[in-house]
Amino acid sequence: MKWFQRKAYPDFWKNYTDSFKAKQNDLKTTRFVVFDTETTGLNPKVDKILSIGTVAVSNFSIDVADSLECYVIQENFNADTVPIHGILKEGNITKITEEEAIIQFLNHIKNAVLIAHHANFDIQMINEALHRLGLPKLKNKVLDTGVLYKKTKYVNRNNFYSLDELCEIFKITKHDRHTASGDAFLTALIFLKILSLLKRKNSKLQLKHLFTWI
């Protein structure tokens, strides 16, 4: 009966899409996954993912146990970006294939709301990797901490805030900057602080408010 299906997807993708049957509406119980990717460059069409780092946030707390950190084996290697992320082609860190990384990532994120700083870029990088595996795009809802910060209206300019600037503003000590996990952790702290600011403005803050202008 398989020909009735438009296309046969692997099990991990089915598990991933199945997870969306459960709806997330409550801000307190919603699982957010904050993530960051380190890449060989800034062009999603050409460049590849070097590493993915994530950490989950639920019930207003960062759950370090619910996190993922993986490094991807490279075929093409762009030496120019090494000084930024510090990941060499042959390092001593255990590395996995891009496919394995994507499988682990989907297994981990499930139906969580994804959060990233400059989220568009990271999502595009993942989607390109999915495309290479012949899979559709991510189905998750996405929030960008840069955009969220502007919602707090504690802002007096309209352009985008860099991760470094937000760390300054929120007095977060920067560690492990430019590692995927390190940046994901910083982004998660920023997300907690933004949530707290938004709750202060609106004591009945709900999940849907995060996706609309309040």
Partner 1 sequence: MKNTIAQRILDFLKDFPPFDLLSHEELLSISSQVKVLYFEKNDFVFEEKEEVHDFFYVVKDGAIGIYKDSQLVDKCDEGDIFGLRAVVRKDQYLLNARAIEESIIYSISSLALKEIINHNSKFNQFLIESFATNTRNPYSNEQKDTLFTNENFLNPNSTNFTEVQSANFSKNPIVCSKDTSIQEASIIMSNNKVGSIVIIEENKPIGIVTDKDIRNKVATGNIRISENITSIMSFPVITFSPNITVSEAQIGMLKNDISHLCITEDGTTETKLIGILSDHDIIVIHGNNPSVLIKEIKRAKTADELKFIREKAQVLLQNYIEQAIPISFVANIISAINEAITKRIIDLSLLELKSPPTTFSWLAIGSQGRKEQLLLTDQDNALVFDDVEPTNIEEVRTYFLTLAKSINHKLNIVGFEYCPAEMMTSNPKWCLSLTEWKNQFTNWITKPNEDKIMLCTIFFDYDMTYGNKELVSQMSESIFDAISKYEIFLNYLGLNAIKNPPPLSFFRNFLVEDSGEHKDLFDIKARAIMPLVDAARLLILYHKLKDFNNTISRFDKLKEIEPQNKDLFDSCINAFKVFLRFRTQQGLHNNDSGRFIQIQKLSKAERLKLKGSFKAVKDIQELIRVRFKLSQIM
**C-beta closer to partner 1: residue 173 or 212:** 173
68 vs 119 by CB, closer to partner 1: 68
Radius of gyration of the chain (CA): 18
- Comparing CB distances to partner 1, the nearer of 60 and 154 is 60
Q: Name which of residues 30 to 59 contact partner 1 (CB under 8 A).
A: 53, 55
Question: What are the residues whose beta carbons fall under 8 Å from the beta carbon of 71, sequence distance 6 or more?
Answer: 50, 51, 87, 91, 93, 94, 95, 96
For partner 1, the closer CB: 154 or 160: 154
Cα distances from 154 to residues 9, 24, 86, 119, 196, in angstroms, run: 45, 28, 35, 21, 13
Q: Does 71 bind partner 1 (CB under 8 A)?
A: yes
Q: Which is nearer to partner 1, 158 or 173 (CB)?
A: 173
Query: Facing residues of 51 across strands?
Result: 38, 71
Contact pattern from residue 155 through residue 184 relative to partner 1, giving x for each residue in contact according to CB under 8 A and a dash for the rest: ----------------x-x-xx--x-xx-x
Find how far residue 131's CA is from the centre of its chain: 18
The two tokens of residue 53 are 């780092």
62 is a site residue for partner 1 (CB under 8 A): yes
200 binds partner 1 (CB under 8 A): yes
Can you spell out the DSSP letters for 118-146?
Answer: THHHHHHHHHHHHHHTT-----S-EEEHH
Stretch that binds partner 1, among 7-15, 61-69, 76-84, 146-154 (CB under 8 A): 61-69
Q: Is 93 in the site for partner 1 (CB under 8 A)?
A: yes
Helix (H) or strand (E) segment spanning residue 49: strand 49-58
Comparing CB distances to partner 1, the nearer of 30 and 179 is 179
> Is 149 near partner 1 (CB under 8 A)?
no
Measuring CA to CA, which residue among 148, 102, 104 is closest to residue 127?
102
The binding site for partner 1 (CB under 8 A) comprises 53, 55, 60-65, 67, 69, 71, 93-94, 171, 173, 175-176, 179, 181-182, 184-185, 188-189, 192-193, 196, 200
